[in-house]
A and B are shown apart, each in its own frame.
Chain A
């Protein structure tokens, strides 16, 4: 079994809150809010409206696709009382999905 296959089979371990993950409140477009475990990222993000450089951030979560299978733009994720809006949905093809987020 390849390492990739083992990771995919053992995906739950990557979403343990005691290890790599954190719990957030995810509200789908047409369902009630629920808690899901995600890996949280907030790297530096370069923005340049009208070619003017701005130090933005690029919050994103890696979630199990089964938890966000019908994710859409403008759905919300709340982490530590801050609401983030989904601005892009990118399935990775290995059972996980990246949700790119914005505070606006």
Chain B
């Protein structure tokens, strides 16, 4: 059974994000604690973590036989109990942005990727926790009403 183009894109994002390791030339190892659509709270043992999800997809009809999609992603990065937490979060944001830019077509499945916004936040209770949500949009095309078929 084949996967939709959207599923192929999510798989490509997961595979790419898993490469965010210091040994791979990045500043952090958030690719080692990678989650897709994790909805439960992250625990200390999960950190530093990267949790990503595909959220909204906007489709436009182009010509008579093409659907052009803008699939929105959110990548959450989180750490706690470390020193210089905001600095660490900024490194994680930079790593995610760098990783997205490795190939904006995700192996030819999409025709481009656009950046959106990122938001950084901090909280303190038993531990200082810092996180950021990075948003980006992958643009791809399929045949009209055929999510499995490339344009």
Contacts and interface: CB of A to CB of B under 8 A. Distances in A.
Q: Does chain A bind chain B?
A: yes
B76 A50 contact: yes
Interface residues of B, number: 25
A49 B133 CA distance: 9
B101 to A, nearest CB: 21
Interface residues of A, number: 22
Given A52-B51, A54-B80, A56-B125, 16 more contacts: A45-B126, A47-B80, A47-B129, A49-B120, A50-B119, A50-B120, A50-B132, A51-B119, A54-B42, A54-B129, A55-B41, A55-B42, A57-B127, A87-B124, A102-B124, A103-B127
B22 interface: no
Contact of A104 (B76, B120, B121, B127): B127
A28 interface: no
A18 interface: no
B118 to A, nearest CB: 9
Nearest to B128: A104
Contact of A47 (B119, B120, B123): B123
Interface of B: 40-44, 51, 76, 78, 80-81, 119-133
